Amino acid sequence: MPRDEVPTPELPVQVPLVTEPWGILKSLEVARRNLLELIPEVATRQPIVSGRTAVRWHMVMDPEANRYILKDAVDNYPKSDVTKLILKPAIGESLFIAEGAHWRWQRRAAAPVFSHRNISNLGPIMSLAAERSSERLESAVGRAANLFDEMVTATFEVISDVTFSGGEKFDRSAVHAAIDKYIAQTAKVSILDIFGAPGWIPRPLRMISSGAMREMKRMADGAIEARRASGPHNVPDLLDLLLEGEDPKTKRTMSTEELRDNLLTFIVAGHETTALTLAWSLYLLAFDPTVQARARAEAQGVLQGRTATADDVENLPFIRQVIDEALRLYPPAAMVSRIAREADTLCGREVRAGDTVMLPFYALHRNHLLWDHPHAFNPDRFSDPKAIDRYAYLPFGDGPRICIGASFAIQEAVIILATLISRFRFSRVPGKEPKPVLILTLRPEGGVWLKVERAGPEGAAKAA
């Protein structure tokens, strides 16, 4: 090989970004396949990119502008109508959808639910799910398994147990199926969304799962009413905590419908996003066996063969770094969209009232102006969290609308990942690389297929 032909290091899977201008029909075709493929490649090298596809739009990858949009001028940048049209049929006017005063009182009422104490109290449920996942993977030893499916199962066990721990009048498998069908089939961009058609005009694909969604809401309403009648559990779950929740300012409490919409929001967001974080983390550990050995050494050293608990999380810093890096490379909410209510200026560029302002976190997290070797897997980036620009890394958003369940998700991910990596070794399956595809969340199309083997104590010795 000639001296100047140095082989390029292999990189984890990534999305092919746009390198040429597209019209609206091509954009719509691509959007239905993978929203991330609409991002121009130049967005990984500039602070802002603007264009017009039926409407004027701006993609922002600048930390200071992100801070301004998400925190300082948040009222001027509400969530886009497209986001609301997609999600409202499933989760109504919940925290994720609501704006203004209706959002503020719900946020005040729900915030205490996700206190550090309450989240720590839910740790045993997360540990039990990690143990069950480990037991299931035992049966996969020596062969390939779809770890995405396994992580979806594990995280759905957690969210259903912390939401409806009594299980009264609540068919978990039916709810799981309805959510999966909604995300996979109906949370896709319609041409009616692109042109801003009002929500009362039917979107044919979204009508496919409407019956399942109605049944899911009916079951949730029944479970809420049953809990009102029976009273709280000894260790309160999310439903108990929300039933007790009250806006300290207005003393308002949530109706059954408001409780249901918010609980369904937590179920939809709370298991899908954490499952994705774990699946991508396992893929990356299989991609880099050296990093995997280091993560295993830490987990085995702390856990000594037992299942991880909430008390272990602070003693597993490298496991947390792996999760943080997975969230950088494959953020579950890989792109969010806002609408400018009033004329403004972002990064020196004119923004008109009505313009769409997109925050493509996938491009932000891979921007060459902000990160060294941005497409590479390197958990050591997060060895000193203070060295990371707060608004260059936004897996949970920021500002007043930062994800209310962020600490819940991190605790769950660390507990499950540490438990599994301490007991198993994962390796890639040739020809089975996952493809990052954004529909509603950044999913691994085709699954995350990895070979599963038991990891003896020699894992720690090799890494030392």
Helices 256-287, 406-423: axis angle to 10 degrees equals: 40
Distance CA 302, CA 296 (A): 10
CA angle 134, 135, 140 (to 5 degrees): 85
Distance CA 96, CA 103 (A): 8
Question: Which position among 403, 419, 424, 441 bears the catalytic label?
Answer: 403
Q: Which residues contact 303 (CB under 8 A, 6 or more apart)?
A: 312, 418, 419, 422
Find the helix or strand (DSSP H, E) in which 134 lies.
helix 123-138
* Among candidate residues 67, 74, 52, 70, the one with its CA nearest the CA of residue 352: 52
273 annotated active-site: yes
Q: What is the 3-state secondary structure (H, E, C) of 193-224?
A: HHCCCCCCCCCHHHHCCHHHHHHHHHHHHHHH
Distance CA 100, CA 18 (A): 35
Asked if residue 315 lies in contact with residue 305, where contact means CB atoms within 8 angstroms, the answer is no
CA pseudo-torsion sign 260, 249, 251, 244: positive
* Among candidate residues 359, 357, 397, 401, the one with its CA nearest the CA of residue 103: 401
Give me 417's structure tokens.
């990942």
CA angle 381, 385, 386 (to 5 degrees): 120
Asked if residue 136 lies in contact with residue 150, where contact means CB atoms within 8 angstroms, the answer is yes
The upper half-sphere exposure of residue 229, i.e. CA atoms within 13 Å in the direction of its Cβ, equals 8
* Among candidate residues 38, 21, 19, 20, the one with its CA nearest the CA of residue 29: 38
Question: Which position among 273, 274, 309, 356 bears the catalytic label?
Answer: 273
Distance CA 228, CA 242 (A): 11
Asked if residue 108 lies in contact with residue 245, where contact means CB atoms within 8 angstroms, the answer is no
Q: Which residues pair with 444 in a beta bridge?
A: 436
Active site residues: 273, 396, 403
